[in-house]
Structures are given as structure tokens and as C-alpha cells.
Chain A
């Protein structure tokens, strides 16, 4: 053989692979060999892959009777996971729907995807840091969460808050309530397939949030309320922005409400859907606009007055229908009332300090206190136990969205898949507060 010629190539690598993977020899008595040979059938392979890919539902043996009932499928029923990543679940809510066709038979809300252990973090902080920590809970209206914590601390400390500070709290709180409700209207429309209202909502909310940024220094997580007052007095930029906005607020609200109220498709999709009757609402502990839409005129601002609300003139709108449309209309009415309150605050704003005289380090006497305020979604409460140190010994947050969302399994069955979004959205949950 000439030197420049190659020997015929016998790919040694391939030869060894072949030797290592001999063709299976099926034998009648060997069960594993039989299984292996059946995998040659592509359909069987598909089934195996799918079986390996998807865990059985639920992935554990059922633990309660309710679980067993929920996870047993009837004829023609199927499960549908809505969330945690779904365009219309307002965060990371997961609803396991049991569907028959498009009709909902049963619902199982699954929570906890956003749990951070805020209460425990608060127990490890001092009283000033708690205000900072509770901000991201109800991130749409964080002032109210601060307000509840501050109310409870002030009860512990027995502080007299200056009247100007109280008025500023009411003023900023009601502004934020308007922003929150406006956003609610937009997202409700978005969940029903309307593209435009959400952008109008954000314009409105942006104006409010910008003016609050002028007041507090932040757009969303304000960290503005303090034990015994607020952090900083009203300033020129805030007042000029507010005055500018107030000239057109009422008109803008009516215009935005008109976008939806007078839309036949919207009204037809909302009316009579997800009816929450009075007794059920009370039994579930629903608060806020959702309760008032079911005909119970319960509003903490009137029922357990705090701050300067007794001095202000406003109505508590209620409705008797209890359906999604009523829940929406209640919010529209509340925006109108809030504009009235803001107007009164501006007219009655007293002079004086915005902070009570307090020591730098807060150390309340041992004791316990419950502070609650009426947030846009209902009663936001904070229960604090003090052991005399500079931080809360126990810090418990009561979030209205959690209780409101609990009614979903009672409201949804019997409705269609499309109503899930209408009902959940009309309850206005904020997942940051629910999962804490």
C-alpha cells in the first residue's frame, strides 16, 4: 500500500456504540424486556412522555374530604389551571377550575405564590421600620396599610395626633382611594376585553400618584405616615398639582365612568353575574365596597370613626343587587364621595404642626392594640402586641382582599369560564396583600 493512502476507515467509535447498545432481544418471561420493546411503538412512547411530563392531579393523595370531592372528575369534566401565570389574574393568583364544557362546576383558589412573611419581618423591625415594611402589601393603595399600622401604634402609645396631620392623612388617603378605584375600573374593563379604559385609568392615576410623589417623595411605596403624624407638611408643588387636578376631577370621573356605564356589552356581562347575597357576604367576613354592594352599609369611616372623618360630610353608597355590576358601580359612587371629602379637607385644613412631640425611640408600654381603617378594598386592620421593647412583639395584618377572594368558590360555580374574570376582577383583589 502506498504511504499516502489511508487504510479504509473503520469508525471505531461507532463500532463501540453499537456493541454497547445491542438490539433488544425480547423474551417471553422477562417483563422489563417486553416493556422496552413496546416502546418502539410511537404512540406508546408519546403516552409515556406525557405521563412523565405531567404529574397527576393532585400530586399528593387527597388530604381532606373537600379535596377528595374536588379532585374527582365527573363525566365530561376537566380541570383548567387559570394562573399563576395568566393574563387576567391580577398577580399570581391560581384558580383551579373544574369545568364542564365552559361551565364552571367547582373552583379551588390556590394562594401563597407571593408569600414573604411580612408579619415576621415586622416583628423583627422597630416601629418606624414597620411602616416601611407594610407598604408593599397593598401596593395599589399603600397609604392605607401604613395608616392601619400607625393607628394601632398610636393606640399603644396613647398619642394625640395634631389635627393638621389628621387632615393631611385623610386628604392623601382619599386621593389614593380615587386612584385605586380608577385603576379598578380600568382593569375590570381590560379583563372583559376592553382595551381603552385601562389607559385612561392610568392617566388619571398618574396625575394623583405624581402629586402624592410631590407630597411624600415616592410614587407607590410612600412611607409617609409616622406614629404621631406625617412625614412632611403640604408643599407648593403638591397643592398646585392638586388644585389643577381638582378643577377637572369630577368631569374626568364622569367621562371615564361613562365609557363603561353606558356600554351595553359591559353592562350585560356584569349584571346578575356572581351575585353575593347579604347573608353570605356577612358570613364570609367580606368588607368594603363588596359588602356595601350587597346591601350592608358598613364603612369603618362611619361605623368606627377614626381620624377626622366624623367632621366630614360624605355618604356611604350602598346597593342591594350584590352582583358584579353593583360592585363596580359602588366604586364609581365612592370616587364621587372621595372627591367631596378632598374638597372639604382643602377647605377645612387647619394650621399647626404635622407631628406630635414624641421621643426618637418609640417604646410603648406592654399591651395590645387593634387599629383599622377603611381601605379601598375594605377593612385594613393591624393587631399589635407590645412587650415594651422598641419593636412589636406580635404583628398581625388583616387584609380585606383575602376575605373578599374567599367568596370566589361560592360565586363562580354555575357561571361560564369568561365570568371568572368578571367576578374575580369585580372583587378587586390585590395579591400582595393576600399572600403577605
Chain B
């Protein structure tokens, strides 16, 4: 055979090498080389494509954006709000774990990061890395869409919440109405999840959520009508402005009953204890989310916590003055004399180095004094540096608080919102769950008449006083 001849053998072996070239070549590479071989060409191609796109499409695209500024504003706001939800949910999850733990005489998460602050991030990774599973018999399309609908419904409500003067997604003139209609969409997602999961617990959870959210939306909406009458507008920004001035201008003092009804109904709307019928773990396992795992469950989870934030933000906005300060700032001070550009680059470098060096040593002394011998030199230096960073960050926020309107507004808004978030967490740690019939009875027999009464009294008073 030709295999015996030298020429044929050479040809055969060359052919074999060529055929096995890619496999052997690849298997002899180390991991770093493989990664480099994948990512370097990819990066080169991506860079070339990006540069080409910018050069070719950039100018016309910029022209287009310049001609459609509202569109830009919308895109930026939507992106910012979408990006806002994840850290918000992370903070809320950690807050809930920690606060409930303290109330239960536990310590709570304390292993991941200092004081366990990375716990929610780890939760996120855990959820991401789980199997994306759908049970047999599930309606896959609806099953997949349900978390998206729920999540988007929560996120879209964030668009009309005024975080600070000028910091609002879109100041609609029907802001409150938009809010309630978008909030009502949540129930569609929950119903979809409950129906498509092919599980009786899910079905019960979905139906419970439908009954509950629809029932509580009526007192929720009716209780705000008094505020709308007083403010004369449905725009969230103008509702906030109507409460500016002092603490006594807040609507909670003009509409105390409405505020109470609103808070209770909002608890039910966010599916929080004691109204967490939809995921009553001791009754219907996990309600609509029973069959969900992985990131689909993660979206429900995020939506729940974003909902808590939104509801707290709405209570703060409508009844507690939103971003307005509770009292007039007693001393007017402006920082206009301070020009950060006057120092120059080397000036700033000198400042940063000096403050960093001496500040670190200053705080390290405290760490050394109070930490005792357990803190070594470098540990106390590190802690001192950390303290310094916190103090500097605090000072920067304080300067911003004094100098800029929107920083002050944001600080006040967040303070008020998180006060209500902690109230929700506190309620969860304290109260047992009500029963379904008690829940519905409370909505229809007590909250609805009370909100109607409130509306009647408010309208009468406004008519009489304006006469």
C-alpha cells in the first residue's frame, strides 16, 4: 500500500496534522492563552466596528437626538430608573434581613463583606446561577412573560416619582393617575404567573392577588382624591410644591384619615405583611412564585422590593412633602465663593495627599486606641482610611446639601422614603397575617366607607371655604 512509501507516509502524516490541527492546537493552550485568543480578536473587531459606527453614524445620530430632545430625556430617564431598581432592591433586601434580625434578637447576615453588606449581591448571583426551570404543563410563553410584566409595571411607576427638584422621569400632568394605572398592571403579571404555572398553590396565590389588589386599589385611589382636590392638580411635582414651606403644610396634617387609609391600602398593594396573602408561606407555600426559580423568580423578588420602595416614596411624596425640607433652612449660606477650579491639578493633588495622609493617621489613632491590641498597625491604618473616606463623603454630601437644591431635595426624599421602608420592615417583623375574608372585609367594610367619608368632608370643606 502507499502507506509504506515514504512520500505517501509524509502526505498521510501532513494530512493528519492538518486535520487535527485545530483540536490539538486548542487543547495544548493554557486557560489564559485561550481567553486571550477569544477576547483579543473579539475586542479588536468590536473596537473597529465601534469606531466605524461612530465615524459613519455618529454625526447624523447626534443631529437626530438634538432635534428630538424629549426623546433623549425619556431614554436617559428610563435607563436611569431601570439602573436604579437593582441597587434599590439590594439595599432593601439587606435592610430587611438586618432589621428583622435585630428585632428577632438575631445578628443577621454578617459573613459576606463587612457587616454582611454584600449579602444581597450574593443573593443576586445565587438567583442568576440557578437553573432556569419551567414545570411540565406550564404555559411557557405566559410563564416567561409574567415576571417581566410584574417587574416592568413596578419600574414604570418610578417614572413619575419626583426624587428632587428637577429629578423626575417625566412630570406628567396626570402623574397620580398614571401611577395607579401602572401599579394596577402588577396584578396582571401575578395572575399570569398563577395561571401559567400549572400548580394549584400558584393558582390560589394568583387569584388571591387579583382579589386583593383590585379591592385595595379603590380605597387607595379614593384616599388620594382629597389631596388632589386640595392641591388642584395630579402632577406629582406640583403636589410636592403645594406642600412646600414648613412641616405644617404637609398633607398628612390636612388629610390625616386619608394618609392612614393610603398607608394601609398601600401595604396591601405592595403585598406586604400583614396583607401578604399572595405569598403566604405557611398556607400556599410561595403563592404565585411557587414554581419559579432562577432569574424569573429573581424578577418577582426585585419587583416586590422595588414596590416597597415605590409605595414608600409615594406616601412620602403625597402626604409628607416629598423632597421639600420639613422646615425652612435657618441659615442661608451660599458656596459661590468656592471655586473648585482655582486650585489647579497640583493644588488638588497636594490637598488630597495632605488630607489623606494626616486624616488617615488621625483616624488610625482612634482605631488603635479603641480597638486595643487586636488591631495591628496596618489594620488600624486601613480602618482609619475607611473612616476618613466616610467622613469626606459625608462632608461632600453636606457641601452639596448646602450648595445644591437637588442634593438637599434628594437627601430629604430618601430620608422620608426609607423611614417608611423601615416601617414596612418593622410591620413584617411584628404582625401575623390576616385571613383572606378578613382582608376583603376590611377593604370593603371599613377602608372604602372611610375614604368616601374623607372625600365628602374634604370636598364640602373646600366648597364652603372657597365660597
Partners in one complex: yes
A193's partner among B106, B208, B432 (CB-CB below 8 A) is B432
Are B11 and A416 in contact (CB-based, < 8 A)?
no
With the chains together, A195 CA to B430 CA distance in Å? 7
**Which listed residue (B15, B201, B283, B429) contacts A196, Cβ 8 A?**
B429
B1-51 contacts to A (CB < 8 Å): 11, 14-15, 18
Given contact pairs A4-B11, A80-B200, A199-B104, A416 touches B436 in the complex (Cβ within 8 A): yes
- Structural contact, A268 and B283, CB atoms closer than 8 A: no
| Interface 9-residue window, one of A23-31, A151-159, A333-341, A418-426 | A418-426
- Contact across chains for B104 and A195 when beta carbons are under 8 A apart: yes
Q: What does DSSP make chain B's interface, helix, strand, loop or mixed?
A: helix
A193 CA to B284 CA in the complex, in Å?
12
- Closest residue on chain A to residue B138 by CB atoms: A46
Do B432 and A418 touch (CB < 8 A)? no
B283-317: CB near A (< 8 Å → 1, else 0) gives: 11100000000000000000000000000000000
Q: Does B252 contact A (CB under 8 A)?
A: no
* Contact of A102 (CB < 8 Å), options: B282, B431, B436: B436
Chain B residues lying within 8 Å of A190, measured Cβ to Cβ, are: 282
0/1 interface trace, chain A 186-227, chain B, CB 8 Å (1 if under): 000111111110011001000000000000000000000000
- The answer to whether A102 touches B204 (Cβ under 8 A) is yes
Set A49, A50, A203, A416: member contacting B435, Cβ < 8 A = A416
Contact B285 A195 (CB under 8 A): no
B105 touches A269 (CB 8 A): no
Is B431 touching A194 in the complex (CB atoms < 8 A)? yes
Interface residues of A in 153-173 (CB under 8 A from B): none
Query: Please, how many angstroms separate the alpha-carbon atoms of A80 and B429 in the complex?
Result: 29
Q: Is B273 positioned at the interface, with any CB of A under 8 Å from its CB?
A: yes
**Residue A370, interface by CB 8 Å:** no
Rounded to whole Å, the gap between the CB of B291 and the closest CB of chain A is: 14
Contacts of B285 in A (CB 8 A): 86-87
Whole-angstrom CA separation of A207 from B321 in the bound complex = 49
Q: Of A46, A195, A418, which is in contact with the most chain B CB atoms at under 10 Å from its CB?
A: A418
* Per-position binary interface string of chain B over residues 91-129, scored 1 when its CB falls under 8 Å from any chain A CB and 0 otherwise: 000000000100111100000000000000000000000
Assess the B435–A419 pair: CB atoms within 8 A.
Answer: yes
B residues near A268, Cβ cutoff 8 Å = 434, 438
**B273, A269: Cβ atoms under 8 Å?**
no
Contact between A269 and B137 (Cβ–Cβ < 8 Å)? no
Which chain B residues in 384-441 approach chain A with CB under 8 Å?
A: 428-438
- Give complex CA distance A419, B436 in Å: 10
Asked if residues B429 and A193 are in contact (CB atoms below 8 Å), the reply is: no
* List of B residues within 8 angstroms of A53 by Cβ: 136-137
- Asked whether, in the complex, the Cβ of B428 is within 8 Å of the Cβ of A195, the reply is yes
Cβ-based interface call for A314 (8 A): no
Interface pair A418/B430, CB less than 8 Å apart? no
Give the distance in Å from the alpha carbon of A194 to the alpha carbon of B274 in the complex: 9
Instruction: Give complex CA distance A86, B272 in Å.
Output: 21
Q: In the bound complex, how far is the Cα of B105 from the Cα of A75, in angstroms?
A: 49
**In the docked arrangement, what's the CA distance between A265 and B277, Å?**
14
Rounded to whole Å, the gap between the CB of B339 and the closest CB of chain A is 54
Q: How many residues of A contact B (CB 8 A)?
A: 34
Query: What residues on A are CB-neighbors of B18 within 8 Å?
Result: 4
B16, chain A: closest CB distance, angstroms: 11
Q: Are A263 and B437 in contact (CB under 8 A)?
A: no
Interface status of B132 (Cβ within 8 A of chain A): no
B280 in the interface (beta carbon within 8 A): yes
Given that A196-B103, A268-B438 are contacting pairs, would A417 and B136 also be in contact in the complex, using a CB cutoff of 8 Å?
no
B428 to chain A, nearest CB (A): 7
Cβ–Cβ < 8 Å partners of A194 in chain B: 430-433
Which listed residue, B208, B282, B436, touches A421 by the CB 8 Å rule? Answer: B282
Q: Is B283 touching A46 in the complex (CB atoms < 8 A)?
A: no
Q: Please, which residues of chain A bring their CB within 8 A of the CB of B198?
A: 50
Which single member of A49, A416, A420, A421 contacts B437 (CB below 8 Å)? A416
- Assess the B137–A49 pair: CB atoms within 8 A: yes
| CB closest chain-A residue, reference B208 | A102
In the complex, whether A111 has a CB less than 8 A from a CB of chain B is: no
* Among candidates B15, B100, B435, residue contacting A418 with C-beta atoms closer than 8 Å: B435
Q: What string of 1s and 0s marks CB contacts (under 8 Å) between A262-290 and chain B?
A: 01011011000000000000000000000
Instruction: Tell whether, in the assembled complex, residue A263 and residue B431 are in contact, meaning their CB atoms are under 8 Å apart.
Output: yes
Chain B residue numbers with a CB within 8 Å of A49 are 136-137
User: A7 contacts the other chain (Cβ, under 8 Å)?
Assistant: no
Bound Cα distance A194, B204 (Å): 21
Assembled-state Cα–Cα distance A4/B12 (Å): 8
CA distance A287 to B201 in the complex (A): 34
In the complex, whether B217 has a CB less than 8 A from a CB of chain A is: no
B243-282 near A? 1/0 per residue, CB < 8 Å: 0000000000000000000000000000001101000111
Which residue of chain A lies nearest to B137 when distances are taken between CB atoms in the complex? A50
Asked if A3 CB lies within 8 Å of chain B CBs, one says yes
A88 to B15, CA, bound (A): 68
Chain A residues within an 8 Å CB radius of B105: 199-200, 203
Given that A3-B11, A196-B104, A199-B104 are known contacts, is A418 also in contact with B283, CB under 8 Å in the complex?
Answer: yes
CA distance A50 to B208 in the complex (A): 25
Contacts known (A88-B283, A196-B104); A263 close to B137, Cβ less than 8 A: no
- Shortest distance in angstroms between B137's beta carbon and chain A's nearest beta carbon? 5
CB distance from B277 to the nearest CB of A (A): 8
Q: Does A78 contact B (CB under 8 A)?
A: yes
Give the residue among A46, A193, A195, A420 with the most B Cβ atoms within 10 A. Answer: A193
Rounded to whole angstroms, the CA-CA distance of A194 and B430 in the bound complex is 7
For the complex formed, measure the closest distance between the CB of B378 and the CB atoms of chain A, giving whole angstroms: 39
Compute how far the CA of A88 lies from the CA of B281 in the bound complex, rounded to whole angstroms. 8
Cα separation A144 to B285 with both chains bound (whole Å): 33
Nearest CB on B from A11, distance (A): 17
* Contact across chains for B137 and A417 when beta carbons are under 8 A apart: no
Q: Which residue of B lies closest to A419 (CB)?
A: B435
Nearest A residue (CB) for B18:
A4
Contact present for B200 and A199 (CB under 8 Å): no
List the A side residues contacting B437 at CB < 8 Å: 416
Contacts of A86 in B (CB 8 A): 285
CA–CA, A189 to B430, complex, Å?
11
Question: 1/0 per residue A1-13: CB within 8 Å of B?
Answer: 0011000000000
A421-B137 contact given A192-B433, A195-B429, A265-B431, CB 8 Å threshold: no
| Contacts A3-B11, A195-B104, A196-B430 given; does A88 touch B436 at CB 8 Å | no
B433 to chain A, nearest CB (A): 3
Q: Nearest chain-B residue to A103 (Cβ)?
A: B437
A62-97, CB < 8 A from B: 78, 80, 86-88
Give the most central of A3, A49, A196: most B CB within 10 Å: A196
The answer to whether B100 and A195 touch across the interface, beta carbons within 8 angstroms, is yes
A417 and B432 contact, CB distance less than 8 A: no
Q: Is the CB of B433 within 8 A of A193?
A: yes
What are the residues of chain B within 8 A of A193 when measuring CB–CB?
273-274, 276, 280-282, 431-433
A417 touches B284 (CB 8 A): yes
Residues on A with beta carbons closer than 8 Å to the beta carbon of B428: 195
A263 pairs with B432, CB closer than 8 A: yes
Closest 4 CB pairs of A and B: A193-B433, A194-B432, A88-B282, A192-B432
9 residue pairs of the A-B complex, CB under 8 angstroms, read A50-B136, A80-B204, A88-B283, A195-B428, A196-B104, A263-B432, A269-B434, A269-B438, A417-B204
Task: Show the binding face of B for A, using Cβ within 8 Å.
Answer: 11, 14-15, 18, 100, 103-106, 136-137, 198, 200-201, 204, 208, 273-274, 276, 280-285, 428-438
Instruction: List residues of A whose CB falls within 8 A of some B CB.
Output: 3-4, 46, 49-50, 53, 78, 80, 86-88, 102, 189-196, 199-200, 203, 263, 265-266, 268-269, 416-421
